Amino acid sequence: MSGILPNGKQQFIDSNGNPLASGKVYYYIPSTTTFKNTWQDPALTILNTNPIQLDANGQCIAYGSGSYRQQVYDANNNLIWDQESDAPLSLADFELPAGASYIGYNEGSTGAVNRTVQTKLQESISVKDFGAKGDGSTDDTAAFNAAILAVAIAGGGTIIAPNANYYIAGTILLPSNIHLDLMNSTITGAGIGSSGDLFQSAYLSGGTIITNIGTSAESHLVQQTIVTNAIINNCGKAFNIYNFVDNCEISNIKFNNCTYAIYSDSCFYCRFINLFSRGSASSATNAAFYFANYVNVQAIESVFVTGRTIGIEVTGGANGLVLQSCSAEECATGMLVNGQNGPLKFDTCYFEANTSIGLDLGNSGSKNPVTIDNCWFYGNATAINGTPVNAGEALIINANNTFLNNTTNINIVDTIADKSNISLVSGSYPDNAVPPALPSGYNLVPQSNVDYKITIFNSATGLPIIKSAVHGPTLIAFENEGNPGAPEAGTVSFCSNSKSSGTTFSVYVDTSIVYQEFNSLLVYRFEVIDNVSTYKMFGLVFGDSVTVLDSTGKTVSVSNNGGNVRLTLGTFSHPSGSYQITGVVRHI
């Protein structure tokens, strides 16, 4: 730095411009008659007399600090002036630690107040203020913790880590009221599978930050703490957090080869948003994102994981939890739920190419309810695996989920009473093709409540003929809005029909409805034409018995035909053994 040097001595002159030879200069505290020191050297170590006696040239050397009241007299003790005077700033004044305090700052808008640059810069603290190097090799753990401690002691605030590559060999502690913005920096840990944690939840006690891991439940809650904007590589547990609660957040972080990206225990009312995990972490068998014990009222949103044994695990109970727009690809198990849950919802989630199970509810306890809505399942071995739901619970799988190229779409196998509510995309079949009980890829207990609407259409015209609920292994009532249509002449919709041999014969109507001796409740309506007459037949089926409600005099019986309901109508006659039947059989 260069510039014009000031005079080494001050010179005082009278009103005529003549030097004040042998004059005197007094220095006081402004607006008082209290003397204030001046010095003969810039280091302010050699005091001047007060007053200062001027030499024959009216000169002296006077260094000062701050503001002064200055009185100047001539040799005859006549007052020349009495003025306020400020000591000029030197380059040294702008050096550490307080140089920025001498520079003014104003935001510029109406109502803005004058401040110093120092107070402006102190609004946020940088880890580099505490010695962080960010060179990728120097251990910056201590610098991060020192910055966090300073902010925590001050009551909270924002800490930034300017974009760099920080190596963290130890553990960074996160107490309440900390906003750590990593500014898209890369944080490299101590190595995949390392026993130490990169970040831990903690609390402030007597000027020291202490981990809360292992403390009693809810004894040291972490509140209002946010960590955001980073790439985290090669560590054991990237975040080990406990009682990380009210309005805490971990967001906008990409994890590469971290044994655990998130290990969350007993955390509630917090947010996990826009998190990505890639890499197998040396084939780690645990979940990349692990949420345990009272996972209540959390926002788990846009969490993505690929290439892990387990992608996301929720265990030990979850209440009031939504996983929104989360994704698991190319894992063994994409998402795993253990323990009692409810309400728990998977909304607009994505499951692709998971080699075992996309969404595994097989170890979940009570479901009060668990809802799967608007999700995509593609190329999984089993898309959804689960256990049946007991009375008072509900597993709701809505029809707006998409299942493509999965070996099995839904697998729920058990023998206990089940209350699962499963809605499937409507199906359609040409002419009078007999539809299957369920589409392929659905392995469900007979007691599941399946909502599956099907339509028979005319293959020549493409127009629908008749609509119905599935004739599957269900106990659902038929529900349909609008006109369900009528059977096509000469067919029993959704059923096949045949006859016994001879010219006097019985007609068999074979349905896809599961035969249940005590539970089936069906209604039928047939019109049968033989050589004698046209018979309008209708009645009710109660399990293994039939109540005929028409007056045709014809008999109707019910039997078990390979596990499905067969109705036998008789008898009819025709010289050639021909007949025509039109009608429907439906649950009621």
Nearest to 65 by CA among 81, 95, 88: 88
Structural contact between residues 328 and 355, judged by C-beta atoms closer than 8 angstroms: no
Structure tokens at 75: 């040799």
Residue 481 above 70 pLDDT?
no
Q: What is the predicted pLDDT for the residue at 91?
A: 57
Nearest to 412 by CA among 375, 438, 435: 438
Name the 3-class secondary structure at 146.
Answer: helix
Residue 4 above 80 pLDDT?
no
Beta strands in 87-191 (DSSP E): 104-105, 115-116, 124-126, 135-139, 157-160, 165-167, 172-174, 178-188
Q: Which of the listed ranges 94-103, 220-229, 438-447 does the model predict with the highest average pLDDT? A: 220-229
Q: What are the angstrom distances between the C-alpha of 11 and each of 19, 61, 73, 162, 454?
A: 7, 9, 13, 50, 107
Q: What is the predicted pLDDT for the residue at 104?
A: 77
Where does the pLDDT of residue 263 fall: very low under 50, low under 70, confident under 90, or very high at 90 and above? very high
Residues 199-254 pLDDT 10s? 999 999 999 999 999 999 999 999 999 999 999 999 999 999 999 989 999 999 99
Which helix (H) or strand (E) segment holds residue 118: the answer is helix 117-121
Residue 474 above 60 pLDDT?
no
Per-residue DSSP letter, 401: -
Domains of the chain: 1-107+114-121 (2.170.14.10), 123-258+268-282 (no CATH), 496-587 (2.60.40)
Residue 561 above 90 pLDDT?
yes
- Higher-confidence residue of 111 and 257: namely 257
Residues 6 or more apart whose CB falls under 8 angstroms from that of 41 comprise: 63
Residues 117-126 pLDDT 10s? 777 777 779 9
Q: What is the predicted pLDDT for the residue at 179?
A: 97
CA distance 24 to 60: 10
Q: What is the predicted pLDDT for the residue at 90?
A: 58
Structural contact between residues 290 and 267, judged by C-beta atoms closer than 8 angstroms: no
Residue 3 above 60 pLDDT?
no
Where does the pLDDT of residue 341 fall: very low under 50, low under 70, confident under 90, or very high at 90 and above? confident
Where does the pLDDT of residue 94 fall: very low under 50, low under 70, confident under 90, or very high at 90 and above? low
Where does the pLDDT of residue 434 fall: very low under 50, low under 70, confident under 90, or very high at 90 and above? confident
Per-residue DSSP letter, 206: T
Structure tokens at 519: 């539970």
Residue 307 above 50 pLDDT?
yes
Q: What is the predicted pLDDT for the residue at 98?
A: 65
Residues 34-82 pLDDT 10s? 999 999 988 889 999 999 999 999 999 998 888 899 999 999 999 999 9
Residue 132 above 50 pLDDT?
yes
CA distance 247 to 396: 30
Amino acid at 225: T
Residue 479 above 60 pLDDT?
no
Residues 388-424 pLDDT 10s? 666 667 788 888 999 999 999 998 765 445 556 777 7
Q: What are the angstrom distances between the C-alpha of 259 and each of 170, 352, 413, 494, 536?
A: 16, 22, 33, 54, 71
Name the 3-class secondary structure at 559.
Answer: strand
Residues 313-326 pLDDT 10s? 999 888 889 999 99
Structure tokens at 199: 């970040």
- Average pLDDT, rounded, for the chain: 88
Q: What is the dihedral of CA 489, 490, 492, 494, to 10 degrees?
A: -80
Residues 144-195 pLDDT 10s? 999 999 999 999 999 999 999 999 999 999 999 999 999 999 999 999 988 8
Number of H helices and E strands in the chain, helices first, is 2, 48
Where does the pLDDT of residue 480 fall: very low under 50, low under 70, confident under 90, or very high at 90 and above? very low
| Interval 377-383 mean pLDDT | 97
Q: What is the predicted pLDDT for the residue at 121?
A: 73
Which residues is 443 bridged to in the sheet?
411
Return the ∠ at Cα 194 (arms to 190 and 195), rounded to 5°.
120
CA distance 25 to 582: 126
